[in-house]
Amino acid sequence: MKIITFVSALLLCSGAFGQAAQFWNNYTFFNPSMTGLRYKHEGNIATMSQINDSPFKNSGYFANYGARIKRLHGGVGVNYFRSSTFSSKTDYFNLNYSYHINLGEQTVLALGASAGMFDSRVLSYYNFPDLTSYTTERASEFTTNAGISLRYKSLTAGVGVRNLNQSWITDSKGNSYRSERTFNVFADHNWSVSDNFALATSALAQTDMRGNFYSQLSARAVIKGKYSAGAHVSNDMYGLSLGYEFDNRFNVGYSVNKYKYSPIRYALHEITLGIRIK
């Protein structure tokens, strides 16, 4: 008899937050200091789903918004994320604040903090892969995050920590578990080749310092500041992305992502809509 335990499933749900292929649209989730750092207003919504009839398919949604407010000397923002798999549904909501320190004409240092709630409903199967026999567990926790970022010309980089407070989770059976901190580092740079062509590169790495490590790399060609096409790779998937920006503020993106050890029919599709006002 194989049981998917509450603890391991919850950790898998937490790791799913890193799975968004177009992660460069979601930096404020990993690092609150990014709030308002690059744009006066920035907002993104995205949906991710596998288009198949498998009972094991994954899906997710995220939305974020951040604004730079001069009288607060920084930015404020909000993040929401939902992840859904055959064994779990997870919701995450948090509020961000970032304090900006001008170090020069094109250099800004940002210190950020956020607080929010994490809610997870997990199915524990007794005879996996038989999905008819299970129990349901639910847990909620208060989480805090922190980070520091530096923007210099076309380079942005930062270090962050999620679940800083390592809150205790108690399931419906009264069992308590200490949730793990996760640490992340990212870098993002736009390389201008000519007036009509640039290369945008992004990298993100995460670890819980207990042997679990996750990384994502992306490179995108940007033509005339409007059209983009690129590729990305992570520990467990790789894919292609397309993007288009119009009216110098609105953008739409699409990516198709294949898990390394799954057939192509289980590819994950992601669509993103965004607004950026400098």
Note the CATH architecture for domain 6-277.
Beta Barrel (2.40)
Q: How far apart are CA 162 and CA 10, in angstroms?
A: 15
Instruction: Kindly report, residue by residue over 181-239, the tens digit of the pLDDT.
Output: 999 999 999 999 999 999 999 999 999 888 889 899 999 999 999 999 999 999 888 99
Q: How far apart are CA 20 and CA 82, in angstroms?
A: 11
Domain spans in the chain, listed from the N-terminal domain onward: 6-277
Q: HSE-up of 64 (CA within 13 Å, CB side)?
A: 27
Q: How far apart are CA 74 and CA 97, in angstroms?
A: 7
Q: How far apart are CA 18 and CA 1, in angstroms?
A: 31
Three-state DSSP class for 23?
Answer: helix
Q: Which two tokens stand for residue 38?
A: 């690059």
**Each residue's pLDDT expressed in tens, for the chain with a length of 278 residues:** 333 333 333 443 444 444 466 888 889 998 999 999 999 999 999 998 887 766 667 788 999 999 999 999 999 999 999 988 777 888 999 999 999 999 988 999 999 999 999 888 777 666 666 666 666 777 778 899 999 999 999 999 999 999 898 877 666 566 677 778 999 999 999 999 999 999 999 999 999 888 889 899 999 999 999 999 999 999 888 999 999 999 889 999 999 998 887 776 778 899 999 999 98
- Please give the C-alpha separations between residue 168 and each of 14, 26, 163, 165, 178, in angstroms, as whole numbers: 15, 26, 11, 9, 5
